Amino acid sequence: MQKDISSIEIWLLDDDDIVRSTTAQWLRLSHYDVREFQQAQTLLDQFQTDQACIVVSDIRMSPMDGLTLMNQCLAQDPSLPFILITGHGDIDTAVNALRDGAFDFLEKPFDPNRLIQTVEKAKQTRKTQLQLANQTQYLGDLHGLEESIIGQDEQIVRVRQQIQTFANIDAHVIVYGKTGCGKELVAKALHDASPRRENPFVAINCAAIPADLFESELFGHEAGAFTSAHKQRIGKLELASGGTLFLDEIESMPLAMQIKLLRVLQENQLERIGSNQTISINLRVVAAAKQDLQNMADFRQDLFFRLNVSQIHLPELRHRGSDIPLLFEHFCRHAIEERGGEFRPLSPIDLETLTLYGWPGNVRELRNVALRYALEANTSVAKILAGYQAQEQIDTQTPLPLSVKVQEYERSLIEASLKQQEGNIQQVLEQLQLPRRTLNQKMQKYGLNRADYLK
């Protein structure tokens, strides 16, 4: 069962009623959910592994002190952020406790701001831990279509639903999406879920075929049909008969071939080059494109309407924020299974870096970063992505102006805060320390809508 990480509680333990209630009030004024405990045993009785909480505990208590409680909690859940409150005479003890697994300690009398900073850091650490634990459990429970089209974002859930619906409708489909979004993966999933699954799935990248070889590639040829045709060749259309033909980047198909493909789809027949024999075929076409085919001047509208029975639109990875860490872990574990190594859970900084990055190469780029992270034990996500960005500037020789970089960074921070606070504007204002009017102006400037981040 996955843990609810929408609210991380602060479990506050102190046997001094006045100190405990004052500390709890500071925390609640900073919008934390606080559960108060007077006795360590009471807290321990309610604690479970992967509890959505952090613990803030005094050291000097009886009958069970804070160190004993910490050791018992960490024995049950070693990743639990445990913060100790200590008097001046217990500093050495607290320092030793850090080596034993304590998250941090606060010395009495402590500054409320220091308390809030420490608690916030611990809360974010715990949220990351539980998020990664939920991801690992989700990945372990995958079955059916979820194993090939991974993700919990509502856009990907909708894509899976469309695949299940369209798979049993024996009609052509157009899949739209940017480079690296997984268009071929969706086409293969459509084929595997359809009654055609036992027959061939044939993929062609239309942008990779020279124009003078296109007809032979699709239709095949007889021996002697042209100078280099030394033997008979079966074309991709014929090979895919009974199954599914995937035409990637169909917008790159030469106009003359569009006309011939349309005729094949209308008549369900073809002739190899150099032959007068008509061959009957039965295939389903899944076409993939990066832009709207209907609005392209060099794409035949009659072919578009022939193909456009159903459409699936794939979101860019940057619009699937909640799926980014999930896919990253999936690719890491897959790389480790193939090449060996040990899985390294992401740090909060790495997790934030993954979420804030724009992913111009989409899922394909994420997979490459995950592979490097899995195989290079001493690297971090931030280091890998910094290298990518530096290389991109070298390749393009057109570094962005400082003003543009500042605006992009500012937008990413506001968007990250909206995601983290789930659209709660008051909490965003407090986190970013901005006046409401300024935040409203910047959200309008960058096209950010609060409604998009509400849960």
| pLDDT per position as a tens digit, 408-449 | 677 778 888 888 888 888 888 888 888 877 887 788 777 777
> Would you state the pLDDT for residue 407?
66
d(CA 311, CA 327): 24
Burial class (CB within 10 angstroms; exposed 0-12, middle 13-18, buried 19+) of 147: exposed
| pLDDT per position as a tens digit, 37-62 | 999 999 999 999 989 999 999 999 99
d(CA 241, CA 174): 19
SS3 content of the chain, % helix, strand, coil (to 5): 55, 15, 35
Q: How many CB atoms lie within 10 A of CB 317?
A: 26
Q: How sure is the predictor about 344, in pLDDT bands with cuts at 50, 70 and 90? A: confident
pLDDT at 305 over 60: yes
Question: At 339, which helix (H) or strand (E)?
Answer: helix 324-339
Tell which residue, 385, 325, 365, has the closest CA to residue 180: 365
DSSP string of 166-229, one letter each residue = HHTS-S-EEEE--TTS-HHHHHHHHHHTSTTTTS-EEEEEGGGS-GGGHHHHHHEE-TTSSTT-
d(CA 206, CA 248): 6
The four Cα atoms 140, 145, 149, 153 give a dihedral, to 10 degrees, of: -80
| pLDDT per position as a tens digit, 53-101 | 999 999 999 999 999 999 999 999 999 999 999 876 677 888 888 888 9
Taken in order of first residue, the domains within the chain and their CATH numbers are 9-140 (3.40.50.2300), 151-315 (3.40.50.300), 316-399 (1.10.8.60), 401-455 (no CATH)
Which residues face 10 on adjacent strands?
A: 34, 54
Phi first, then psi: give them for residue 36, nearest 5 degrees.
-95, 140
> Would you state the pLDDT for residue 48?
92
d(CA 103, CA 119): 10
pLDDT at 239 over 90: yes
Q: How many CB atoms lie within 10 A of CB 213?
A: 10
Q: How sure is the predictor about 347, in pLDDT bands with cuts at 50, 70 and 90? A: confident
| pLDDT per position as a tens digit, 364-418 | 999 999 999 998 877 888 888 877 665 554 444 445 555 556 666 777 788 888 8
Tell which residue, 251, 242, 239, 240, has the closest CA to residue 174: 251
Burial class (CB within 10 angstroms; exposed 0-12, middle 13-18, buried 19+) of 195: exposed
Residue 327's identity, in one-letter code, is L
What would the two tokens of residue 268 be?
A: 């369900």
| pLDDT per position as a tens digit, 124-145 | 889 888 888 888 888 888 888 9
pLDDT at 227 over 80: no
> Would you state the pLDDT for residue 427?
85
Tell which residue, 453, 167, 151, has the closest CA to residue 314: 151
> Would you state the pLDDT for residue 174?
97
Instruction: Return the DSSP state at 34.
Output: E
Residue range 10-21: mean pLDDT, rounded: 94
Residue 244, helix vs strand vs coil: strand
Report cis status (omega within 30 of 0) of the bond before 63.
Answer: yes
| Residue appearing with tokens 């039965």 | 282
What would the two tokens of residue 38 be?
A: 């007077």
